[in-house]
Structure 1
Amino acid sequence: MKNFRIIFAEDDPVCATFLRRSLQHLGHDVIGETDTGEEVITLCRDRRPDLLLTDIQLRGLNGQQAAEAILDQQILPVILISSHHSETMVERARSNDISAYLVKPIELADLSTTIPIVMQRFQDMQTTKNENARLSQELQNRKLIERAKGILMKRSCLDESVAFNRIRKMARDRRVCLAEIANCIIVSEEALGGV
């Protein structure tokens, strides 16, 4: 199993000791631990962990509120820990991108199975988001290129392939991407009042 950089927040000293020892036993690096909601926010901001485990009951700001504040600042998987099961808390966790919810008493087996699943799902989700962003940008670029081709075809009475080859040559000569040249053509046309 791959090891991860983990921060945990737990206000019960016995449970905190168990978490630290269990995470280290599983090969993970515990890069921070605290018993307050405010400090876990600071630790996550400063140390950028791979994973956060937080009990809901913490001193000061509770763990769920702290997790929500952290997720507003950065993207990372979060496992919430609670001493009791509550449908309301589970629903709130689900709506706030919490990755998993464990009910005490937690055992080593709970951690050894939950952490790899959470991390794999998080990785899969990030890969999907990145691919969607790439495809969205590609579609946007194609729209720009099509619009620029249309402008060149209209302004210079060119057919589609000649207009596209002109954009491609300009991009190659300037060592920039096609979309950048297309955008320049569109901006120039707008400046001339043609669009």
Structure 2
Amino acid sequence: MNILIIDQVAKRAEPLEQALRDLGHEVLVRPPGKYAIYKMVESFQPDVVIVDADSPDRDTLEDVSMTSDRLPRPIIFFANDEDDDVIRQSIQAGVSAYIVDGLQPSRVKTLLNVAISRFEEHQRLKGELKKTRDELADRKIIDKAKGLLMKHKQCDEDAAFSAMRKMAMNKNVRLSEIAQDVIDLFG
């Protein structure tokens, strides 16, 4: 696994870097500041990102959020800040694991596994939510198109739905595409 460590203090990153290499991972260590987390992730394409900082600031959290939205991957934060709001904001930004009080090299494998599992579950839930939202949006379009067909063709709901379904099958497109065409035509 390719892992990107972002740390302002090179000495602080050395034990973590060694523990990860001992587990067989490829590790790249970079200081923050010159390049944003997003740009580093875009450039190096790591499997996991580990950020070690005293406390995540607003800019860092925005950068993590953008990275999570555009280039999602597990992000582990090591910080000294135990503030509940900071932890909550970090998790909302897309951090998979927020660890306070440093790292013992013996815990690296477990922390990686937990962060990756949490990330995968979060991605699965995001996918389900998107699918549900898309289905609801499609349902609204289909219902609106049925209403327009019923009004303009003076037919009942079943006939309107059957006509759209038949057109979708004949054209080999999704029912919602036909419904949008109906809305564009009669709406």
TM-score range, shorter chain: 0.7 to 0.9
Count of matched residue positions in the alignment of Structure 1 and Structure 2: 179
For CA contacts below 8 A with separation 6 or more, give which structure has more relative contact order: 2
Displacement of 1:10 in angstroms is 2.4
Match of 1:109 among 106, 112, 133: 106
SS at match of 1:162: helix
1:72 counterpart letter in structure 2: M
Who is 2:29 aligned against?
A: 33
Counterparts of 2:53 and 2:109, CA distance in 1: 21
- Going from structure 1 to structure 2, the CA distance change for 1:108 and 1:94 (only over 3 Å counts) comes to same
Deviation of the 1:136 alpha carbon: 0.9
Q: Which residue of 2 aligns with 1:16?
A: 13
- CA contact under 8 A between 1:149 and 1:160: conserved in structure 2? yes
Question: Distance in 1 between the 2:36 and 2:50 partners?
Answer: 10
Find the aligned partners of 2:113 and 2:32 in 1 and give their Cα distance: 26
Conserved 8 A contact 1:7-1:53: yes
Q: So what's the TM-score if we normalise by structure 1? A: 0.80
With 70-79 and 118-127 compared, the bigger mean Cα shift is at 70-79
Quote how far apart the aligned CAs of 1:71 are.
2.5
Counterpart residue identity of residue 159, structure 1: D
- Kindly report which structure 2 residues correspond to 1:1-195, keeping only aligned pairs within 5 A, or say none: 4-30=1-27, 32-39=28-35, 41=37, 42-57=39-54, 64=57, 65-66=59-60, 68-73=62-67, 74=70, 75-82=72-79, 85-88=80-83, 91-97=85-91, 98-190=95-187
Alpha-carbon distance in structure 2 between the residues aligned to 1:34 and 1:77: 17
TM-aligned CA deviation for residue 34 of structure 1: 1.0
Q: Give the number of the structure whose alpha-carbon radius of gyration is greater.
A: 1
What displacement does 1:128 show? 0.5
One-letter amino acid of the structure 2 residue matched with residue 130 of structure 1: G
Query: Which ranges in structure 1 are unaligned for 5 or more consecutive residues?
Result: 191-195
Whether the aligned pair in 2 keeps the contact of 1:8 and 1:33 (CA below 8 Å) is yes
